[in-house]
Structure 1
Amino acid sequence: MSSTDSAAPEEPTPGFADLGLDDRLLRTLRQLGYESPTPIQAATIPLLLTGRDVVGLAQTGTGKTAAFALPALQLVDPKRSRAPQALVLAPTRELAVQVCEAFQSYAGGLPGVHVLPVYGGQGYGVQLSALARGVQIVVGTPGRIMDHLDKGTLDLSELRLLVLDEADEMLSMGFADDVETILSAAPAEKQVALFSATMPPAIRRLSGTYLRDPEEIMLRGRTATATNVRHRHLMVSYPQKVDALTRILETENFEGMIVFVRTKNETETLAEKLQARGFSASAINGDMAQPQRERTIGQLKSGKLDILVATDVAARGLDVDRISHVVNFDIPTDTESYVHRIGRTGRAGRSGEAISFVTPRERHLLASIQRATRQTLEPMQIPSADDVNATRLSRFDDAITASLGSERLELFRQVVAHYVNEYDVPELDVAAALALQAQGEEPLLLEPDREARPERRPRDFTDGHPSSDGGPRPRREGPQLATYRIAVGKRQRITPRHIVGALANEGGLRRSDFGHIDIRADYSLVELPASLPRDTWEALRDTRISGKLIELSPASSGPRDKGFRDRPKKTKGRRRFD
């Protein structure tokens, strides 16, 4: 196995045009804003285009997705076959979706090239229909790829390139046998590219067995962040994000802020929500015309705008010294993006703050970022109502203090004195009335946060077991409850704690929102608030317990208690909630 260390001093990195890429791909890269290849791309792309097997040792965030995606797109031929010609294996559904989206963005100028994500949790029907129509590239997780091979619905006979992305992660998750089975099922003359952050013995053995004289590329990625930036993270469910951001904006002493999201649509949506809450916010994304982009950035620099909601692409080249905070509303899926985002703050010798929102499903991304950057992202809590109120009162005090120094104060002293003498009202009451008038309809202080009190905890799971006495349950305060069905039960060896933990974490529910829980053989019945918000439905749509989709739906019973006495009748279809 020959080896290349791309971190060693060499001649200047070539441009994408020097790597042998098709003009259509080069045109797409320019449209996406790519200027020059990363070291892993410069070293890997020419080798894959010439048919060499490759082992790339690189951390997440070094640009390795484009390193194999661009050659794969150039190698496939839509006219050759309807069977897949390239297969990418990824350890998780999230990474598979991310890689597939990258392929689709690079393939914008290649008519007839179709990319299909294949992973567990997605319906087989969508995947089977796409495979029947014909796809050139499949990106999937080992488990679902094995399912299709076992069913005979995935044909690997035309496969030309097989990529193992984050191979060490796949093996550590127990997919070693599946990966070897897939490698063996592919044609012997296939080309293989293996990417891994480390080279444990299992990866070395895999490479020696299934790769032909591979070129080994070792890369030390750009993972350093500024030392004058404090890194924090907030564990938060998806429905809580906007409220959490609002409280952070109220309690953090920031000058200018960039809030990063993943999609162009989300920039507009989030900016509108912040504007509705009274913040000076604006969106910036790849669809924005250059004059408008320049005008928005100018407002941020001058202080007319305080918050910019942006995507990674839109923030490229953004250099504004007054950015004191960067908030990852959506945590980046690779380390390099994290480094680039955080680089927007802590400039010109100033200190900076970086806050990343992390949902329970994204813990692995947090771990990857901390491991690659060698930075600890300190845990933080959502500011409480007391924290917000203390900040509001402090700012109210500051506003009064500033007004006391105004030259116009004497005139208003005379106005207040006249009112006090005319109506015989204490000066303190007049001051309070003027403050009320200035505040308007918006309340000055938040109501105290609602906390779940021990006496209101449903007794069904205080000891970890559902109640089974069959007697009447005491009425309890709180929202009106309804019975819901989830598709996990005793066969999955779950307990009420599993159900409460999963639904509370993913849906932003409180423990006091849960009522009776009845676990049956193949499903469970759970009492939850009768009116679940749309955000909660969205968050729970892909929730899993013990690896199985819960498929939350209303129980097909009438009165609330009836659902626990009578087994719901089977129906041909399940009502869909969007």
Structure 2
Amino acid sequence: MSDLKTGQSFVDLGLPAVVLKQLEKMNFTQPTPIQLQAIPALLEGKNVLGEAQTGTGKTAAFGLPGISVLDASVRATQMLVVAPTRELAMQVAEAIANFAQKMPSVEVATVYGGAAFGPQIKALRGGAQVVVGTPGRLLDLLNKGVLNLSALRFAVLDEADEMLNMGFIEDIETIMGAVPAGAQRALFSATMPPAIRKLAKTFLVNEAGEQPLNIQVAAIEKAKATIRQRAWMVRGLTKMQALTRLLETLDYQRVLIFVRTRTDTLEVSEQLQASGFKASPLSGDLNQAQREQTVAQLRSGHIEILVATDVVARGLDVPEITHVINYDLPSDSESYVHRIGRTGRAGRSGEAILFYRSKERHLLRTYERLTNGTIEYFEVPTAQELSAFRQQALQQQLVAMMAQPQLHEMAKIIEKMQAETGLSAEQLATALLAQYHSRRPLILADDPAPRKFDDRNDRNDRRGKRDARDTREKRPGRDRREANIEFDTYRIQVGRDHGARPQDIVGAIANEADIDSRYIGQIQLFDGHSLVELPKGIPTAVVRVLQRARVRQQQMGLELADEQITRRPRPPMGDRPGFKGAPRRNERGARGQQGERRRRA
């Protein structure tokens, strides 16, 4: 429920008394702008086209009038809601069920893929009046003849643009084609691309030829004032180093981290778990039971950090989420609005953090315009600041512990140790502190000074953009003279057999390690592996990032190459498999040079 208020009451909208009574119990008193406009129109029987972002109260905007027009005595599907994801379908179904609590004869069924057909079929055949589902499963049930829409009164498409992005447009057209002509329709979408407008034009015009009521709630009207937006430019540290430092120093309740791919959800969550954080991935690879369990653990606090992709997190409603971190920026600006809408819910404050590269700075201005907000730039804690934070945190823990009773037994142990070892209490405390430090360093080494290939401004970044024409086997001689740097040779587990090209390797290294392509030396491709030259002194953390990076869906597995292997002379061509007997190139070159010398003589 959005915290946007209009100054009017739900009583003014014409809702039935039984619905109003339940809203009062739920402390719903004032409608949001989308509810204020949509509910009366839908109660009057009009079709509605709503443009509104997540968090503006859309579910109540169609859910309340939907249950108001139901005939609870009829055991058949009368209201249909189509949602893009299982999570959103479950959330919508739960909200509608709550709205209808004082209507005991009304049943709500949720149908979605990844779950057994049996219980869902049973719920439909049992006469559930409200059906909320995802396009694929709804289409399956229609084709099986289980979902009967002959008694349907009200059909809703929720998050239509997201269904378009997920490739459900044909399924939606089939489902809407099965909706009776006389049924009322509503479509809600954050954006209105041409395909969605075409869908609205096809299915929202009623039998009398009347156009739908178009309701627009602009993104800038969303309750974003309670969401603080901050951005850090990826520089000096890797993303993972920055993420762990932030999570250690932030005062958070629950955190939602957005990454680009399902593989990323696993890798990022595994690294966070290894660092001691309560993190878990949420991706399409999990079955429905696992996803529901993961969200439940997040709500309960068994999990504090969720690493997810845009698709599975769409519709996720956990009020305890205090921070959203854009580990990878979204592919489109609208997705950013949906992402940060996962925090600052139910009137709470929230914080959205972005990791961006210098070439992505222009996107931040777009986000500011779209949210009518300001993005603050900040730096993640330095090694010295993190050391001070840990020391202060430990000090507070020790002070709090000394306030506890029953410490006399510990005091006796200290006295005994002093007597037996001759060490003072201060020396024992120092030793214990050193033992703690070995497990969790209290004094961190200073951050290395930014290297040339890390310290780039926007101009250098534009100048250093990769060009496919320049990603042939590198020109190390020229690059070394220009950069005046030394290289180490690394081996990666990707080669010709995997379809790899030099530009693929350059792109992966430049993107994942934020190394300018000018500082990537010679690349040699072999069948099952490749050799690549990188500047000496690359930090271990960067090497670990590149070990996990992928080229052509193959993990690089970067490791320092053995010098004997890298310097081993190539075998003569006559000794290579498949050689047809042509003279060796070096021999031809030698004979040619001898002939030239004779002619000159």
Q: Which of the pair has more CA radius of gyration?
A: 2
* TM-score (normalizing by structure 2): 0.48
* TM-score (normalizing by structure 1): 0.50
